[in-house]
Structure 1
Amino acid sequence: MPDPLAAPVAVAFSAGADSTALLLAAHTLWPGQVLALHVHHGLQAAADDFEAMALLTGRALGIPVHVCRLDARAQPGQSPEDAARQYRYRALADMARQRGAGCVLLGQHADDQAETLMLALARGAGLPGLAGMPERFERHGVVFGRPWLGVSSASLRAWLVARRQAFADDPSNADPRFTRNRIRAHLLPAWAQDFPAWRETLARSMRHIAQAQGLLDELAAEDLQGTGVPPAIGALQALSRPRQANLLRHWLRRHEAVAPSEVQLDALLLQIDACRTRGHRIHLKVADGQVQRDGDRLRFDRSV
């Protein structure tokens, strides 16, 4: 995390309980240096109320609130949640850069982290998904941090209530159509009944998983040095199938910002294995583009 004293500190501020607590804490630590970034997604009828609450809270605390209004509707075939998240990070990064912020702080907490693990398990995710949300990451050229990952939602709300600080409640958080909400309402209470220390134990498991994924990333980076970027097909074929899969996931995730499904990756591995002649074609759709053969190398192309 950059030194917060060297630049303004931005807080992603939805006006909900978690981000309100984060804004207050940051304002206490760095008075006069904090600014709030509010993203109006345009996806809910209550979005205008969230913006109004954000502006009201900012005025009461003497903290500037910057608002970005955008159309975060998903494209055909895109998950609405993923689309909103991508638009949000882009908007937050753009606003932070424009105002010279050294970092953007996010309000996700320990309960969010546990829900993320449960959701990843339900979807059959690999190690990157099971590792949960990192405390620090970079996206669109901006550093983001999550200081609340070791803090429960209940403690944040209790702190706000003790301070008589108002915040907005998002009605979509109770909508059972969303898997995350069903996990929050049903699975985690049942887990907590038998395992009181569930937040700590799940967090420990996620740290172990993140460490294992880090080792796989190191191996993939070493293998990429041998295959080049984008990878040479012949050099790929010299690796074992698990190392090929690990390298391809790493290349697509780190260099192209896409994640192939298990089915897509298996199909790509079969095409690579069969590519033994000069005229053999490799062509596979992944996310918003295609993995193709380009001479003796692979190429990810979004223009098709």
Structure 2
Amino acid sequence: MNTPLPQSPGGASLLDAAMRSFAPQLPLAVAFSGGADSTALLLACAQRWPGQVVAVHVHHGLQSAADAFALQCEQLCARLAVPLKVCHVDARHAPGQSPEDAARQHRYAALTAAVSQPWPALEQPVRSLALAQHADDQAETLLLALSRGAGVAGLAAMPARWSRAGLEWHRPLLAVPGQALRDWLAVRGQDWIEDPTNADARYTRNRIRAQLLPALQQVFPQFRATFARSSRHCAEAAELLQELAESDLAQVGSPPQIASLQQLSRSRQANMLRHWLRSVHATTPSTAQLDQLLAQISACRTRGHRIQLKMGSGFVRRQGAVLDWYN
């Protein structure tokens, strides 16, 4: 059953518009941290699909307030009659891994495991999972990608929808600014958790949020919408490059035949080699590493020409007429 959402004044109506265009397969799970973003998403989903929504809270155990966060989530879910699972994870990062990346990986693994288990309150398995990233998060992701010199795949930022582990994953709020979500909650008198780490200037995302986004808002008031449009264009370009890479790899072979590879333009060689290394060997070369490999492929005109270069987490070397990869 779909329950109409009431209109909210001002920017808060953006959430209502986003929810009206959100059509997940039900039942639906919501990743619920207790922050403003996920609180707004959970309330809106529970109101629209009563009895068809569940929630998952990931307890990272990284700060002393984590138990209090979980308790507040439990209390709100009880009031909404939304079943909740609290998943405890060890989100400490490995040497050389960023804390944000470690927490993200643990969080996604916990969400997948939680929604894949039976939910006694539901008559059928969860089919969709919704995440609360919004327009500010999308802008931050694009700016981070630009700072790293990312290609079109990175500049595509976060997808609004994808499939993984037998689930449909959704980000229905990517067109909604963070302040609009807080406005929507304020209209309803609903509080939320303010995670103190969100103000920690050691994290690049927090510095972007506190310093860069306000400046962009002042100079380019529509930057969220225009950034999102650019990301969509990049996503379309990345899809075309993926299709071309798959076609070229089918022609060149796997492992790639050097002579066939040399018939492609340098750009198509680079595109195909990235795809081969990523899809077949689960590794991604740096731009400098790939440039070295392309130079060696161009110079490879004799039987005795040797190729052995560091590439991602392993090495690419010449084996007769083909390129091989090992670690």
TM-score range, shorter chain: 0.7 to 0.9
Q: Does 1:96 align with 2:96?
A: no
Q: Does 1:218 align with 2:226?
A: no
Shift in Å, 1:105? 0.6
Which of 100, 107, 117 is equivalent to 1:81?
100
| 1:265-300 residue CA offsets vs partner (Å, 9 max, x unmatched) | 2234345456654794535251xx324448555555
Contact 2:36–2:193, Cα closer than 8 Å, also in 1: yes
Report the residue type matching 2:308 in the other structure.
Answer: I
Higher Rg of the two aligned structures? 2
Q: CA RMSD in A?
A: 2.6
Q: Does 1:261 align with 2:265?
A: no
Q: Does 1:9 align with 2:28?
A: yes
Deviates more, 1:149-158 or 1:68-77: 68-77
Could you tell me which runs of 5 or more consecutive residues in structure 1 were left unpaired when the two chains were aligned: none
Looking at structure 2, the residues matched to 31 and 237 of structure 1 have their Cα atoms a distance apart, in angstroms, of 59
Contact 2:31–2:132, Cα closer than 8 Å, also in 1: yes
Contact 2:22–2:172, Cα closer than 8 Å, also in 1: no
Q: Does 1:44 align with 2:63?
A: yes
Which of 146, 151, 155 is equivalent to 1:126?
151
Report the residue type matching 2:52 in the other structure.
Answer: Q
| 1:23-76 residue CA offsets vs partner (Å, 9 max, x unmatched) | 111112211111111112222333222222222221111111112211122222
Could you tell me which runs of 5 or more consecutive residues in structure 2 were left unpaired when the two chains were aligned: 1-20, 119-124
Deviates more, 1:155-164 or 1:46-55: 46-55
> Which SS does the other structure have where 2:244 is aligned?
helix
Report the residue type matching 2:204 in the other structure.
Answer: T
Deviates more, 1:156-165 or 1:210-219: 210-219
Shift in Å, 1:160? 0.9
Looking at structure 2, the residues matched to 53 and 232 of structure 1 have their Cα atoms a distance apart, in angstroms, of 59
* TM value normalised by structure 1: 0.88
Looking at structure 1, the residues matched to 35 and 189 of structure 2 have their Cα atoms a distance apart, in angstroms, of 14
> Which SS does the other structure have where 2:276 is aligned?
helix
Count of aligned pairs between the two proteins: 299
Which of 281, 290, 294 is equivalent to 2:314?
290
Deviates more, 1:145-154 or 1:130-139: 130-139
Q: Does 1:174 align with 2:193?
A: no
Report the residue type matching 1:81 in the other structure.
Answer: E
Looking at structure 1, the residues matched to 110 and 94 of structure 2 have their Cα atoms a distance apart, in angstroms, of 17
Distance 1:38 1:217, change over 3 A: same
Contact 1:39–1:88, Cα closer than 8 Å, also in 2: yes
Deviates more, 1:259-268 or 1:187-196: 259-268
Distance 1:253 1:91, change over 3 A: farther
Contact 1:272–1:282, Cα closer than 8 Å, also in 2: no
Report the residue type matching 1:23 in the other structure.
Answer: L
Contact 1:72–1:87, Cα closer than 8 Å, also in 2: yes
Looking at structure 1, the residues matched to 163 and 325 of structure 2 have their Cα atoms a distance apart, in angstroms, of 22
Partner of 2:90: 71
| 1:162-206 residue CA offsets vs partner (Å, 9 max, x unmatched) | 112221111111111111111111111111112211111211222
Identical columns (%): 54
Report the residue type matching 2:75 in the other structure.
Answer: L
> Which SS does the other structure have where 1:101 is aligned?
coil
Looking at structure 1, the residues matched to 281 and 67 of structure 2 have their Cα atoms a distance apart, in angstroms, of 35
Distance 1:298 1:162, change over 3 A: farther
Contact 1:17–1:157, Cα closer than 8 Å, also in 2: yes
Contact 2:306–2:318, Cα closer than 8 Å, also in 1: no
Shift in Å, 1:157? 0.7
> Which SS does the other structure have where 2:163 is aligned?
strand
Q: Does 1:59 align with 2:84?
A: no
Contact 2:318–2:324, Cα closer than 8 Å, also in 1: yes
Report the residue type matching 2:314 in the other structure.
Answer: Q
Contact 2:41–2:132, Cα closer than 8 Å, also in 1: yes
Q: Does 1:149 align with 2:174?
A: yes
Looking at structure 2, the residues matched to 256 and 20 of structure 1 have their Cα atoms a distance apart, in angstroms, of 40
